[in-house]
């Protein structure tokens, strides 16, 4: 068994988290008699597949680490050799191995913008160590949030003048909202939407039929994260079906932060002018915004209530009314009617919706409370489904027993006739 070498691999690019030091350019010759593990790292640096295969076949440990805890996978990730990375992973290389500074191959690939390697490592389960969703230190990057340093604006495309654009993150296109307020640092001036997918508009009936409870929880959890974001809460202000997208895993993601607002020093916001129908759909906007009054995070709760009802009803709020008339209806404390069967609003769901679109914003529940209620409803529905399945199985088993018994009775009757 090879022992861990005390040699340091110093060719090519170094660890993304290492203290700065001059890196020796690639192409230097490796001294004769040097550890085979260092030779493996050298070959990875050079992209020498044949040399690596020979070393691995001769027994060189694929997860060999130098004195800095670096592996051949670290080196290949730094240099941007997807074929080398694939070879190493195919031979059992540890994908989330950390060097002495805590840098992983994925972190190195991201640092050097080797996006093909990033995608390959992520496909094999590589993950960056993330802080929890709620962090104490403002410098930590919470779970589900993008580090602004990773955004590439070199080929960005503006969507709306000066505020919304398409940029690149790890080689993937993302929509970026820029906040122009002077009180934010450059890193605080961006909000990224990395979830592009299928709009809720195109899946409305599907959601109505299959498990609205899980989809509603997805939206509520996303909104809860925005509202509890530190140090400032984020008001979406444009929560409507077209801004709720479905990703490849089937989960819903809240998107489009073009009208979002940050709340750092104030508990409410007052606009200079009301939102126009060109900026957003009035069909999902809270009355206090339409009337140009002070508002807070509860405007998103109002919008959520309308979306939740739409999932069940299968049609948008007041489908036959023009948007201006919908706005007037909300201002007059009129709400969309409940036309779906009562059983679809069981277990307090209708009451939850009515609380969420209350005329008084202070009476609307927070998304944390909404999540709690939806989880309770989900548990009730899950138990009901299980009971139905067990009941159905019991009936099926009983039916099978009766069929067997009936068959046996017929058989006995036939034998009796024959013998007589």
What is the Rg, in whole angstroms, of the alpha carbon atoms belonging to the chain?
Answer: 30
Query: Is 184 found in the same domain as 90?
Result: no
- Predicted confidence (pLDDT) per residue in 67-106, tens digit: 999 999 999 999 999 999 999 999 999 999 999 888 999 9
- Residue 275 within any structural domain of the chain: yes
Range of the domain at 57: 1-129
* Core vs surface per residue 332-344: b (16+ CB within 10 A) or e: eeebbeeebeeee
Which pLDDT value is given to residue 145? 60
Whether 73 maps to a domain, the answer reads: yes
CATH, residue 342: 1.10.510.10
Same domain for 110 and 147, yes or no, is no
Catalytically annotated residue among 68, 193, 238, 296: 238
**Mean pLDDT per 10-residue section of the chain, whose length is 420 residues:** 57 69 45 76 94 94 93 95 96 94 90 89 82 51 62 69 65 64 43 43 34 76 88 86 77 77 73 69 90 92 95 89 92 94 89 96 96 89 70 66 61 51
Task: Identify whether the C-beta of residue 12 lies closer than 8 Å to the C-beta of residue 96.
Answer: no
Backbone angles phi, psi at 359, to 5 degrees: -60, -35
- Looking at the fold, whether 119 and 174 belong to one and the same domain comes out as no
Question: How much is the pLDDT for 392?
Answer: 66
Q: Are residues 94 and 172 in the same domain?
A: no
> Taking the CA of residue 287 as centre, how many other CA atoms within 13 Å lie in the half-sphere pointing to its CB?
16
The rounded distance, in Å, linking the Cα atoms of 150 and 169 is 6
204 and 349 both lie in a single domain: yes
Residue 116 annotated as catalytic: no
The reply to whether 57 and 167 lie within a common domain is: no
CATH number at residue 33: 1.25.40.20
Examine residue 229 and state whether it is found in any structural domain, yes or no: yes
Name residue 174's beta-bridge partners: 167
pLDDT in tens, 402-417: 666 666 555 555 555 5
pLDDT at 168: 76
Pull the structure tokens for residue 268.
């409410």
In total, how many domains does the chain have?
3
């Amino acid at each position: 068994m090879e022992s861990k070498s005390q040699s340091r691999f110093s060719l090519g690019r170094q660890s993304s988290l290492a203290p700065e030091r001059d890196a020796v350019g690639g192409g230097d010759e490796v001294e004769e008699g040097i550890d085979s593990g260092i030779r493996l790292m050298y070959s990875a640096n050079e992209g020498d597949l044949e040399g690596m295969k020979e070393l691995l076949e001769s027994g060189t440990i694929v997860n060999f680490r130098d004195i800095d805890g670096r592996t051949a996978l670290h080196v290949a990730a730094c240099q941007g050799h997807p074929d080398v990375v694939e070879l190493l992973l195919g031979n059992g290389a540890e994908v989330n191995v950390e060097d002495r500074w805590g840098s992983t191959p994925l972190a190195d690939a991201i640092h050097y913008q080797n996006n093909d390697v990033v995608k390959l490592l992520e496909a094999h389960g590589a993950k960056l160590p993330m802080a929890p969703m709620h962090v104490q230190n403002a410098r930590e990057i919470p779970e589900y949030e993008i580090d602004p340093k990773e955004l590439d604006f070199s080929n960005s495309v503006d969507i709306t003048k000066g505020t919304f654009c398409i940029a690149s993150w790890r080689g993937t296109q993302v929509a970026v909202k820029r906040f122009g307020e002077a009180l934010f640092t450059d890193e605080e001036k961006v909000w990224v939407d990395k979830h592009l997918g299928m709009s809720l508009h195109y899946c409305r009936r599907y959601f109505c039929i299959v498990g609205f409870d899980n989809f509603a929880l997805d939206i509520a959890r996303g909104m809860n994260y925005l509202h509890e974001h530190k140090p400032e809460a984020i008001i979406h202000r444009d929560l409507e079906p077209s801004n709720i997208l479905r990703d490849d895993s089937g989960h819903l993601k809240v998107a489009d932060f073009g009208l979002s607002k940050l709340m750092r020093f104030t508990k409410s916001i007052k606009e200079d002018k009301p939102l126009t129908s060109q900026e957003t759909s009035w069909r999902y906007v809270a009355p206090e915004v339409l009337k140009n009054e002070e508002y807070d995070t509860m405007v998103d709760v109002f919008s959520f209530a309308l979306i939740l009802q739409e999932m069940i009803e299968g049609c948008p709020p007041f489908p036959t009314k023009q948007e201006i008339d919908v706005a007037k209806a909300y201002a007059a404390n009129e709400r969309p009617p409940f036309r779906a069967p009562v059983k679809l609003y069981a277990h307090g769901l209708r009451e939850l919706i009515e609380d969420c679109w209350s005329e008084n914003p202070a009476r609307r529940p927070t998304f944390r409370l909404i999540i709690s209620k939806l989880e309770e409803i989900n548990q009730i529905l899950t138990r009901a489904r299980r009971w139905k399945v067990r009941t159905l199985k019991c009936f099926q088993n009983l039916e099978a027993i009766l069929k067997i018994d009936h068959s046996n009775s017929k058989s006995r009757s036939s034998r009796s006739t024959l013998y007589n």
